[in-house]
Structure 1
Amino acid sequence: MSSSYDGLWGIGELAERAAVSVKTVRFYSDSGLLPEAARSAGGHRRYGPGSLDRLRMIRSLRSMDLPVAAVRRVLDEEEDTAGRAGGALEEAVAGQLRTLGSQLRALRWREAALRSVQECPAAERPGRLRLIGAVTAPPDTAPLARFWRGWLPPRMPARSVTAFLEIAVPQPPEDPEPNQVLAFAHLCAMVSRTCDASAGPTQPHAHRAAGPRDSAVLYAGLAEAYDLAATEMRRDREPCPGEALDGFVDAYASARNTADTPGFRRALARQLTADPRIDRYWELTSELTRPPAGPPQPTPGSAHDWLLAALDAESGASLPA
């Protein structure tokens, strides 16, 4: 109860009852979170008994690092609903959990990055620090997506581009190992490097379909074929004819509006063998997505190699050493 004649508390009495400083009470009042009931004749703040519960709620919400604006929404809703918690509190807690999750992920990423620098030879540390330091924490895959958007045929339907990016852009692990941080840093450096026109195109000639529709048909078919090949690879099967290879060839044949014949398969094998490659990208992707225990998982790049080896063995075309 208040010890004053009007049943109101001064700022010092309220602060003492709530076990906070006068400065804290003044801050919440100035922020509009803790309204005053009145002012004394001398201009001093006066608070009603309900201010104590409100102040304790403010402190509880702020202890979870909720911003002032979110605290205000929760308090306003509680006032409107006669003290019952509603959607504002649920939304504020969920938002804070998302923020904390992102912060924790960033901390795990920074820890693995520091370990990567610490564990490498002393002479390599400055270079590795510069490489890894260029990557944000938590990591952002936007540079990889930009690389592939520039690599894909122009005017492909947005849905087809999105589907391709889902399999071509690796998602960094939540709790990475030092080598995975390093692999992601190398990936970002690779895709951010200025293209050298004298080195020729990086997109395979075989992927240059005639138009948006044909490009969509090609990449949708390849995605299915890569998925089938990955299943065979996980079973440790050697490259061989079958459903995966048939789907692989059919993707190219359908995009070119031609028939799947032995002659087409031989020509396709020669073309794919001679086309530009980005093997380094898939090697780094394999390292980045490797599970904590077990062998590397198939990537679109390794699945493509498996299918090309199966096509070569079937068609009799020779691959370079």
Structure 2
Amino acid sequence: MNGPTLYSIGELARRTGTTVKTVRYYSDRGLLPPADRSPAGYRRYAHDAVARLDLVRTLRELGLDLAAVRKVVDRELALPEIAAVHADALDVQIRVLRLRRAVLAAVAERGATPEETRLMYRLAMLSETERWRLVGDFLGAAFADLAGDPVFAGVMRSMTPELPDHPDAEQVRAWVELAELAQDPGFRAHLRQLVEEEAAGHLPGEPPMLHGSLAAIVRDQVAPAVAAGTDPAAPQADPIVAVLLTRCAHLLDRGDGNGNEGGDGDSGDGAGPDPRRQLAARLERMNDPRRERYFALLAVINGWPAPESLRPVLDWAARALYARAPR
């Protein structure tokens, strides 16, 4: 009576569409034990070796290591359990690959130097804890003693980037650029100056105006003139300037925290800095392109709508104010 059909290595390879070398490799590592040997010592495999080899190859192609594959085929661990662990590992690998791809794309777009590339890669690969530390240091330096004020604490939260667990390439590039900006000493000092100005003009019970009320006042009053192409030095701009000075009087009465710095000149009547120059200088500081870029990058990272550019209205308002200030 004939026994069960046994396959040689070559026959098993042909039936599974693989190579003799692959069959021998898995057999040598205990993943495909032979059922018997021929009189000459050649390995022979049982019929179920076909299904076992297919399973081994599938698991390997899915990225499982040999030890994990052995536990599955030997039924030491359930496949769903192994699959869950490796799915989590693949998520990490995919995230890393996305980060690397985003950095490479940014390097290509910016024509980055090797030194810039190293910095970009380091910033992109920061852990969540490291990102929070970097952002916390940046905003902490800007708000300093004001961080305990609930109103200013709310502003800090609104300026905090939160990179998602699975960011897309655009969000990664935005994070790298924002992190670079947050470490720029010049921008850090500039933001601190803006915060100090807000604190000096802050009325109790009212929100600070770091990127809100003052900009909204200027936008509402000036945008129609900008859209109409009105010359900021033309007489038609007089009423707009008058409204700006009235609406911002509480800021000017309290000073801007810089005396005559930033182009503020004396009014000529001994009453202190001219309010038009004072407000114009403050609007110029608000109009720093780094500030606008920060909020644009923040929107990309946090998945918010792109913020409206205020540069045209801030520029127009500053020019209109300077045009009416005493020489």
- Which structure has the larger Rg? 2
- Structure 1 length as normaliser, TM-score? 0.48
- Structure 2 length as normaliser, TM-score? 0.48
